[in-house]
Amino acid sequence: MKIPQHIAIIMDGNGRWAEQHNVIRAKGHENGGLAVQRAIDLCIEKGIKWLTLYAFSTENWGRSKLEVSALMHMLGKYLTERLPEMQQKGVRLHAIGELYMLPERNRKLLRECMDATADNQVLHVVLALSYGSRQEITAAARALATKVKEGQLQPEDITPEMLGNHLYTAGMPDPDLLIRTSGEMRISNYLLWQISYAEIHVTDTLWPDFDRADFDEALESFASRERRYGKR
């Protein structure tokens, strides 16, 4: 079976899961965290090398103070508690997004986790945190414009590869498969540049319920696609 090298996931539906179970939204996010562990284990089992997870968008800062602080608290807890497991499983952690927006404590924990796992090679896990694709592309445009202004670069020498190398994802392969849970048929400002040729799989399953069967279904769907890249 054809296996994607890189899977990107829009982990949506924690709120609806909480509603269904009559619990507060934070509980939905907590169970979403368990689904993250499950997805990581499944990727390792299948030999997938890259997993990029949309954990918090730039736009998510607009949610209630209570929800934002619950999510930030969960992130800190996750990074603290899961580090030994990442080490044991050979997971290398990366982060993309406007990380300077995160609370100081989380920035520090992220830095520590990324440094500690820097030599791991089994699976690269990329957390998209305070991430927005338009913001990312704008920052790249700004960096290139600065180089032009300083005379280091001519506008006509700017290529797609060069722009890609100024994104947070510089050096990472593009996703082959994009999964969105909870049924919404939209991209929500996620990896707009990088998913140019990704295959898209949307499932109605809510993220906290996303399990082996859903994962297998996504992989089977991917394996059945003919990727043409515009060539035939």
208 lines the binding site for Mg ion (CB under 5 A): no
For Mg ion (CB under 5 A), the number of binding residues is 1
**Tokens at residue 49, please?**
């090398």
> By C-alpha distance, which of 214, 212, 207 is closest to 55?
207
Q: How far is CA 146 from CA 149, 163, 210, in A?
A: 5, 13, 43
39 binds, among Mg ion, ligand IPE, none (CB under 5 to 8 A by kind): none
Return all residues near 157 (Cβ < 8 A) that are at least 6 apart.
none
60 lines the binding site for ligand IPE (CB under 6 A): yes
The number of beta carbons lying within 10 Å of the beta carbon of residue 176 is 21
Minimum CB–partner distance for residue 12 and Mg ion (Å): 4
**Tokens at residue 94, please?**
């990366």
3-state secondary structure of 77: helix
Helix, strand, coil percentages (3-state) for the chain, rounded to 5, are 50, 15, 35
165 is catalytic: no
55 lines the binding site for ligand IPE (CB under 6 A): yes
What DSSP letter does each residue of 124-193 carry, written as one string?
Answer: EEEEEEEE-HHHHHHHHHHHHHHHHHTTS--GGG--HHHHHTTSTTTTSPPPSEEEE-SS----TTSSTT
**Contacting residue, 56, 168, 210, 215, with ligand IPE by CB under 6 A:** 56
Minimum CB–partner distance for residue 67 and Mg ion (Å): 11
The residue from 14, 22, 41, 60 that is catalytic is 60
**Contacting residue, 31, 52, 57, 203, with ligand IPE by CB under 6 A:** 57
52 lines the binding site for ligand IPE (CB under 6 A): no
Letters for 8-27 (x = contact with ligand IPE by CB under 6 A, - = none) are: --xxxxxxx-----------
**Tokens at residue 221, please?**
């769907």
Residues 171 to 190: which contact ligand IPE by CB under 6 A? 182, 184, 186, 188
Residues 12 to 31: which contact Mg ion by CB under 5 A? 12
81 binds, among ligand IPE, Mg ion, none (CB under 5 to 8 A by kind): none
127 lines the binding site for ligand IPE (CB under 6 A): no
12 is catalytic: yes
Phi, psi angle pair for 180, to nearest 5°: -120, 130
Closer CB to Mg ion, residue 28 or residue 175? 28
Q: How far is CA 183 from CA 2, 13, 186, in A?
A: 24, 9, 9
Closer CB to Mg ion, residue 2 or residue 186? 186
Q: Which residues bind ligand IPE (CB under 6 A)?
A: 10-16, 54-57, 60, 71, 182, 184, 186, 188
Residues that bind Mg ion (CB under 5 A): 12
Catalytic annotation, residues: 12, 60
